[in-house]
Amino acid sequence: MNNNSSFWEKQTFLKKADVIIVGAGIVGINAAITLREQSPKSKVIVLERGLLPKGASTRNAGFACFGSMTELIADLKTQNKDEVFNLVEKRWKGLLRLRERVGDENMDYFEHGAYELFASEDLEAFEECQDRILEFNQILKKITGTSEVFQVQRDKAKDYGFKGVQGLIFNQLEGQLHPGKMMQALWTHARSIGVDIITGVEVLGFESGKAGIAVRTANDVIFSGDSVLLATNGFTRRLYPGLAVQPARNQVLITKAVNQLPFKGCFHYQEGYYYFRNVGDRVLLGGGRHLSKLAEETDEFGHTNLIQSALLDLLRNTILPNVEYEIDQWWSGILGVGAQKVPIIKEIENNIFVAVRLGGMGVAIGSLVGEEAAELVLAK
Ligand SMILES: Cc1cc2nc3c(=O)[nH]c(=O)nc-3n(C[C@H](O)[C@H](O)[C@H](O)COP(=O)(O)OP(=O)(O)OC[C@H]3O[C@@H](n4cnc5c(N)ncnc54)[C@H](O)[C@@H]3O)c2cc1C
């Protein structure tokens, strides 16, 4: 019960907060920034269990994307058109907000565009995309103001040196960024406007009482606040097992610099289950979770032979078939996913809120999800 804390600590670090946010990823930090912007006198504390963010925000691929054609067509099978394109619009606006908040130059944002790859076995999907390209471009023009966002490119696959790829669909508006620089800039900005970010604090649970909410931690320190916002994405079920958000691990590799790398941009393959991009002269490649969905439904970091082999095969046989390269590093990150693609932003108990289930698009929507959650807390 904070028995070992000093009088001074109780008046500062441990003083009751207006809002305690759990999780210092893109959602938690954007929520904290919005709270301080809209209520500059409020005390906002972010508690993060890692020394750095330890989920997805500093471990992702850095695609600034809002949806490839096959992904949107797949979504239209389970959701109506309005829902699918509202989410596209949210991603688009979220990216604009992120770029405005962080600044392109502070996170190596480059608009090289993105491509979807179609191999021989994907020709039916390629045809369906071509049939619907006009319809999708009309909707995207309304959202982005740009004509012909999607374009068919048949010959580029050869220029890029890909093997067995029959065609590409280019999205001229998608970009790429450096997630580490993005998060570092967001943390720096949040701290500069008075947000307390305390790292190495794992939250274990909450008790509501007359004096507010007591937040129990693995450090034997109790924080208290009027409201709590969980921005814990793929780890949420450790605190709320009933919430419809599951963890999903993603494994990633990066090569060393490749001599005369023939392509630049972000690439989606097999409905986005595989993704790769250039990082300067290197290649980053990740995905393959669909090969063993059950085993990857975990919030433990790590690798498996099955997925590592699939990624290495794809790199050797399709992406860099005629090029010398060396693998530099592997890592993994944890997503929060569910049957529905929309995030969960709501009050789940009196004054306890969640903003989770960002799927594979948190770079795009994380800023707006954080903002929306902050506004929900402030409206209470
Ligand atoms: C490998 C990979 C590639 C991806 N690629 C892309 C991409 O290219 N483009 C894209 O848009 N999205 C991508 N994503 C998804 C994107 O990264 C996520 O949607 C986004 O980062 C989620 O942000 P978040 O703030 O909700 O969660 P997180 O970044 O996971 O943050 C949650 C934080 O909560 C902390 N936490 C959890 N439990 C506790 C607790 N009990 N106490 C204290 N702290 C706690 C965690 O340590 C973590 O830092 C990718 C994800 C992965 C894993």
Percent of the chain with pLDDT over 90: 94
CA distance 167 to 114: 13
Amino acid type, 346 = K
C-alpha of residue 83 to centroid of ligand 1, in Å? 23
Given a cut of 70, whether residue 1 has pLDDT beyond it is no
- 3 band by pLDDT with thresholds 50, 70 and 90: confident
- CA of 335 relative to ligand 1 center, distance in Å: 6
- Name 333's bridge partners: 250
In short, whether 343's Cβ falls inside 6 Å of ligand 1 is no
**Mutate which of 45, 46, 47, 57 for ligand 1 pocket (most atoms within 8 A of beta carbon):** 57
Query: What's the pLDDT tens digit per position in 144-179?
Result: 999 999 999 988 999 999 999 999 999 999 999 999
Q: How far is the CA of 21 from the centre of ligand 1 (A)?
A: 14
Ligand 1 within 6 A of 25 CB? yes
Rounded-to-integer distance, Cα 30 and Cα 190, Å: 8
Alpha helices in 193-329 (DSSP H): 305-314
Tell me which residue has its CA closest to atom 15 in ligand 1: 360
Residues 236-281: pLDDT tens digits? 999 999 999 999 999 999 999 999 999 999 999 987 889 999 999 9
Token representation of residue 226: 């009027």
Tokens of 316: 């050797």
Q: What is the pLDDT of residues 279-332, one digit of tens each?
A: 999 999 999 999 999 999 999 999 999 999 999 999 999 999 989 999 999 999
- Write out the CATH class of domain 7-58+180-244+340-379: alpha beta
Q: Is the CB of 227 under 6 A from ligand 1?
A: no
296 CB within 6 A, ligand 1? no
Among 231, 249, 225, 257, residue whose Cα is nearest residue 324: 257
* CATH fold label, 116-173+246-337: D-Amino Acid Oxidase; Chain A, domain 2 (3.30.9)
DSSP 94: H
Ligand 1 centroid from CA 57, angstroms? 4
pLDDT at 272: 82
Instruction: Give percent of the chain with pLDDT exceeding 70.
Output: 100
Nearest CA to ligand 1 atom 41: 203
Domain segments of the chain: what residues? 7-58+180-244+340-379, 116-173+246-337
Q: What's the gap between Cα 35 and its chain centre?
A: 21
